[in-house]
Chain A
């Protein structure tokens, strides 16, 4: 019920006539009768006006973030997106293109991806970046496999504070080659990594990589990360970093990171209920040929002019097949475009200012929540930027968040693994200062939190 399929009168008949057949059915004579199906049961088609009405009716049942005072963050960081970002993403020369295999016809996207790679190199202090992976969690998974290619061993260490989803994704990546993912304990007061544990583990000579995140899964900064490389020696260090934080923090390449991965959604990509997202990956030049994913390189054209092309493709699945560095084909190119357009619109000063303003708001929020009895806010005694973890002392984190929601506050998200049978975890919530909240919303959060804790005390 659309004009998406051409239907000019006589058109189909002309095609059939050219083929010398009388019906399209003849073109399916190679499908055995026993393999044929009757009707699928999908339902009738609809006109565009009906589709828009129906989908709008469904979307009405969503309550978007703008309807709340939202303190939801973590790896997915909703942020104001300058209108110009979407204007560029809406250029259909970009968004309706396929992978730029034909370099001459795709210089626009290749150049944008080269700029994206360059930006991630500048932010991380590493040498080379790829043209994107699916999301931050799968980028960490690819980093795990990458480490195994450049170093011997069976064990990969990750912080116990890493979000449960990422641990689960990492365990999947580790499962194929039968590697293990082990958790580094953290200090109960500060959340800092137990470097003694790491030191002891690497002495087994069976550790092929160590991952640390900035900020960590609790939203905090851990100065210990600066000493991690000297602790692990030639074992590869993976840092999973928030790109906005890197606008004000020392680039991980400066303190020995061999790989820097991250989630790029916060740079110009709408959260869209979890996707599409953007996986970031950078590594050292010496390990370039072990890197996963597409890479754009600069070269020359036949006239000696600067031109760009996908390069080092012999690492990739379409050439190397079972010996490829990764199975990835489709990546997140358009999201990589969003990332570089966003950063270019905001500029380096603007990014640092945004991170500073979020850090100031987070401090205001921490002091507003700090005095509430029955709530530890922040839970950890450690530095932080725009987010931190709180722990509910009365009732559950779920009940706390429900009570806030009734007051139109999205108070953060629970950190516990939701799978039934998971080990009992403290009632912790990651709270993020976002650019959509101000003093008013912060005070509202504090009042609602007080009321929620009081209610839990009366009615546990």
Chain B
């Protein structure tokens, strides 16, 4: 496909109308003189059209799912339904304050409640809270719950360690560390948890084992029941990272697999838009033992009324302002009730079908380091490219020139020069075939062209090393370095 991204020579917003004079803002009633701002905020005064044109032009220099297939592994970049966008903007959804009296927010509370009921069924876990703002936030809250549970059992001094596979998302060890745990990585074998290594590692010091299933190599951990027995046998908790739930909807679930606590990412599996990096919406799902520790408030139904329940003495308390990210939970609810039971299962089946189809085709170009049967995503190794003096990064950049987004690159790190590809259920066979053709063109291109990519975007290859070596992080920095057109 021929593709050229818009390439506007658009100035930064401060260069559109450089603030000329340093004004003193007028006095504000009640503000003591000492607290007053002495100089007006330095920001341009623009017309509405200028602002709209500026950000519209910026948007034209950005890939989204609506413009391009977006096969980022572990990110589940599926279509974000327009109907959800429309519904989230209704007055009854957008113009609601989290501190409104419950009697005036019965619809919102019911949507939370209904989505939680659906998610208990999807996860096979009895209790769900929507308070987490994102996946990592859910991980962190879940580990605080684990810590509180062991504190209540008098085991907090002994259970000080969280185990995780070497393929774990970086958020897992980071969340564990924030929750006060030391972390230890379990080596994998063939892309999956090495059960013998896990058995050797678990002990009375283990608080929790964190696992993604399917894992970040795109493989289903077939020994999951043995893993659960091993972890439970040591008196530890098993944590489910739900980033990859898309592949198993309606097939299996964390409850059945033996997990004690889980987080889900509604911005992956339940199609809420990722907003260029956020917002997300996290879900905390819990088994019986950890449920009393879920954040307050909980949504409860009494008779026909819904209310926020703060009477949970063992709760870890609050993890953010308000309850969940309602705007996104509403979108996720629309997604769930549109699909229903059969639709959700079809989501998993089609995403796995797409993934295996593309994997089998791309496996002709690059080696697949693990077993061929994959779930929602798969990993390739770009190592052979090195014979031609080409790296995975070059291939990723060259793919951008085809008008498709690059895969996740250099993760998981146990595969040399790895690429991780996920094309979810919303991509048609036509789109998959176009992607495969684009991949073939890209990988067959000359080393010179691969090194020179991208050529069709708003900018050429971006110097990230320079960005880190000489950090210029704001307009103030550009002014200081004499690199802004305006003083």
Contacts and interface: CB of A to CB of B under 8 A. Distances in A.
Interface string A329-360: 11111110100110111011101100110011
Contacts of A212: none
Determine which residue in B105, B313, B320 has the highest number of CB atoms from chain A within 10 A of its CB, and name it: B320
B349 A24 contact: yes
Interface in B170-185: 170-171, 173-183
A322 B34 CA distance: 44
Interface string B349-393: 110111011001100000000000100000000000000000000
Contacts of A108: 57-62, 458
B225 to A, nearest CB: 6
A129 B474 contact: yes
Given A39-B250, A68-B104, A298-B467, 20 more contacts: A5-B350, A31-B222, A37-B251, A59-B90, A86-B89, A104-B454, A106-B63, A111-B12, A111-B58, A115-B12, A115-B14, A165-B318, A247-B41, A275-B323, A275-B328, A288-B473, A322-B176, A333-B275, A334-B276, A360-B29
A255 B201 CA distance: 51
B34 to A, nearest CB: 6
B252 A223 contact: no
Contacts of B65: 92, 96-97
8 A-B pairs closest in CB distance:
A274-B322, A45-B340, A334-B275, A59-B92, A274-B98, A108-B62, A275-B325, A276-B279
A275 B180 contact: no
Interface string A166-183: 101101110111100000
A328 to B, nearest CB: 6
7 contacts: A64-B96, A119-B43, A123-B41, A272-B327, A307-B463, A311-B464, A333-B277
Contacts of A36: 251-252, 256
Contacts of B173: 317, 321-322
Given A61-B110, A62-B96, A169 B319 contact: yes
Interface in B23-56: 25-26, 28-32, 34-38, 40-46, 48, 51-52, 54-56
Interface stretch (A49-57, A197-205, A228-236, A442-450): A49-57
B240 interface: no
B29 A32 contact: no
A61 B325 contact: no
Nearest to A109: B276
A314 B55 CA distance: 30
A184 B476 CA distance: 34
A223 B32 contact: yes
A87 B85 CA distance: 12
Contacts of A56: 87, 90, 92
Contacts of B328: 275-276
B428 A317 contact: no
Contact of A341 (B55, B346, B474): B55
B231 interface: no
B159 interface: no
Interface residues of A, number: 199
B4 interface: no
B20 interface: no
A196 interface: no
B302 interface: no
Nearest to A303: B460
Contacts of A175: 144, 147, 179-180
A12 B30 contact: no
Contacts of A68: 104
Contacts of B349: 24, 27
A218 interface: no
Contacts of B103: 405
A78 B95 contact: yes
Contacts of B63: 93, 97, 102, 105-106
B280 interface: yes
A4 B462 CA distance: 35
Interface string B319-347: 11111111110100110111111111111
B461 interface: yes
A263 interface: yes
Contacts of A2: 81, 338-339, 343
B165 interface: no
B471 to A, nearest CB: 5
Contacts of A328: 134, 136-137
Contacts of A321: 170, 173-174, 183
B453 to A, nearest CB: 9
A15 B429 contact: yes
Contacts of B464: 103, 299, 309-311
Interface string A268-306: 001111111100000000001000001111111111010
Given A78-B97, A250-B36, A272-B93, A322 B29 contact: no
A164 B61 CA distance: 43
Contacts of B126: none
A460 to B, nearest CB: 21
B30 A384 contact: yes
Nearest to A291: B473
A298 B478 contact: yes
Contacts of A273: 93, 96-98, 100, 105, 108, 322-323, 326-327
A362 B28 CA distance: 12
A122 B476 contact: yes
Contacts of B31: 221, 248-249, 359, 383, 385
A127 B480 CA distance: 11
B280 A330 contact: yes
